[in-house]
Structure 1
């Protein structure tokens, strides 16, 4: 559930369900808004599930559970995965060291089951796990002028963080905020502004109406931006997939000690190329998610998501295909017919930054 439904409505928002939560779909004219973000900067209320981990053993506990090294320094974070025993992704998450606590940002529907699972695994450690999803609000600030936007409204004697997954504390209007440098999922320079839910109205209105201009945008624009950027997302590509099939490098630290799934992932990594890979396709029509992809006469894989984004002349899709399949002979089944598809390198559109999740094989 958005923490600001009335405020979004005043800006002309329509809503939809996203992973079990009500979010802004658009504020009207999503294609125009998409272009405005690519040319300048936009603000979106981003829905996460949020866990707060406290106690003396908090860093060690979370570090032993995830695929990347949890930072011990206040003001730093990391992108990581939680894997099942077969090495498949159960959830992805961002872990931030906020001094006396860790904050774990998960996909919206994953916080409660993750909290329950972790609580079952706490034995003699000094660890306390709380679901803080309803206590905090998060706003994404994305676009080639995002740094200027944040600088124009961030006060407290601090500048915008310039290193990925670092954050600073300050204020926007009367709201106390933390500002995080993101991993550029829409293919643009980006930040996330985190505040108490009670301060969400002040923070959002400050971002939209004060300082440099910024346009509000919803999840329809977010999805078209991340598709153009070639960013694999949890709901469509990551969930249940082995990381090396995604070419996902920024979430893994192979120098770490044991944690659930690490040994499996290391063996897969050392075994050579994966069985499948994620590729970009250009087509003449938009296929449904799950549409079959063929290489010649052989079934090669399936589409994960597709669309007709504003800055492309024709529809595009992300698809899993066999690693050794001939990418020059691809077709996709659309409305019962085989439609020719050409392989295109990712990203589909170059923005001010490259998404940190772009596949690397």
Structure 2
């Protein structure tokens, strides 16, 4: 899916597949790159799928499907979910109102499926839906100096509210700059451009104005782990949003989206079956596998969703689902030994992740 493979390779990139998209794994020495993003700023190519929705009834149609309120004002966006009837997360997405169209940024493998399904269900509404993944390049800019980096190359003032955007020129190309919702625990922006302008935009972000370090998905995953951000593939998919603590993704007053009855019932009860917690190890301990069992006093109390060596803390950390009523301060983790239940985020940066679990 990458639009700038030659530029990535020139920087020494290796690649892997993420949810059907070819993305950069790293550029070598990912721990050093991680610290560069934490301390200054880095740039990465994002592997989104994109769905475009047009027509007079576009806002009403999408609002009736997703879990959050879709904005109708140009330049505004929202984070929301597509849910199964039983309440589990089918997809997460960002929806932006861009003039006479809505642009939805989805997991890459689901964009075509969503577009085809919605196109078949518009009935008498004035709505047209198509997959537009190959139309756009999207680059993330993250770090405590992200605002200075973007401001040094963008013709327009950077947006100051999360999930709002400004249009302008970046390098020699038209671009839209979106203020992100802090998923890495640092200030963040995403730069959206036409696919044919992707090389110019990526090169500009790396080399013009304030320099920035290129980083790949391995660093993205350790940054978001340290920030306590649940991701679609590892924590969100198939889980009821209340279990993941995704209060920012659901408008409980809407009452008109698929799965609403289930998530509202759990919300009103105030007690999901499980909750997402942080697990912190000692330096030198093994990194547990995803799915590793948590026990306390011999009783099973949960399981790991993902884990990694934290470059910032120089010890392993993990996210895990634990029984909602579990209040112990320590656990034993299969394959890794004793660990401490930690308060999220593991690392406090220049911003706070809007997805950090809240119960």
Same fold (TM over 0.5): yes
Deviations 1:135-167 (A, max 9, x none): 100000000010011100001xx2000001000
Q: Which position in structure 1 is the counterpart of 2:220? A: 222
Take 1:225 and 1:23, find their aligned partners in 2: how far apart are those partners? 16
> How many Å apart are 1:349 and its aligned residue?
0.7
> How many Å apart are 1:129 and its aligned residue?
0.6
> How many Å apart are 1:329 and its aligned residue?
4.2
- Normalised TM-score (structure 2): 0.97
| Structure 1 residue 291 corresponds to structure 2 residue 292 | yes
> How many Å apart are 1:272 and its aligned residue?
2.1
**Superposed, which structure 2 residues align to 1:188-199 within 5 Å?**
188-199=186-197
Structure 1 stretch displaced more, 295-304 or 30-39: 295-304
Take 1:18 and 1:282, find their aligned partners in 2: how far apart are those partners? 26
| Structure 1 residue 48 corresponds to structure 2 residue 48 | yes
Structure 1 stretch displaced more, 195-204 or 248-257: 248-257
Take 1:102 and 1:292, find their aligned partners in 2: how far apart are those partners? 42
Q: Which position in structure 2 is the counterpart of 1:181? A: 179
Q: Which position in structure 2 is the counterpart of 1:32? A: 32
> How many Å apart are 1:257 and its aligned residue?
3.7
Q: Which position in structure 2 is the counterpart of 1:317? A: 318
Q: Which position in structure 2 is the counterpart of 1:133? A: 133
5+ long unaligned stretches in structure 1: none
**Superposed, which structure 2 residues align to 1:1-361 within 5 Å?**
1-155=1-155, 158-283=156-281, 284-334=285-335, 339-361=337-359
- Normalised TM-score (structure 1): 0.97
Q: Secondary structure at the match of 2:152?
A: helix
> How many Å apart are 1:120 and its aligned residue?
2.7
Q: Secondary structure at the match of 2:82?
A: strand
Take 1:69 and 1:329, find their aligned partners in 2: how far apart are those partners? 39
Deviations 1:42-81 (A, max 9, x none): 0000010000000111000000000110001000000001
Q: Secondary structure at the match of 1:60?
A: helix
Take 2:297 and 2:85, find their aligned partners in 1: how far apart are those partners? 35
> How many Å apart are 1:308 and its aligned residue?
0.4
Deviations 1:269-309 (A, max 9, x none): 11121110000001222110011111221111110000101
Structure 1 stretch displaced more, 9-18 or 137-146: 9-18
User: Contact between 1:285 and 1:314, CA under 8 Å: does it hold in 2?
Assistant: no
Number of positions where the alignment pairs a residue of Structure 1 with one of Structure 2: 356
5+ long unaligned stretches in structure 2: none
User: Contact between 2:46 and 2:139, CA under 8 Å: does it hold in 1?
Assistant: yes
Q: Secondary structure at the match of 2:133?
A: coil
Take 1:301 and 1:116, find their aligned partners in 2: how far apart are those partners? 37
> How many Å apart are 1:116 and its aligned residue?
2.0
Take 1:305 and 1:254, find their aligned partners in 2: how far apart are those partners? 29
Q: Secondary structure at the match of 1:164?
A: coil
CA RMSD of aligned residues (A): 1.0
Take 1:178 and 1:311, find their aligned partners in 2: how far apart are those partners? 31
Deviations 1:88-116 (A, max 9, x none): 11000000000110000001111111112
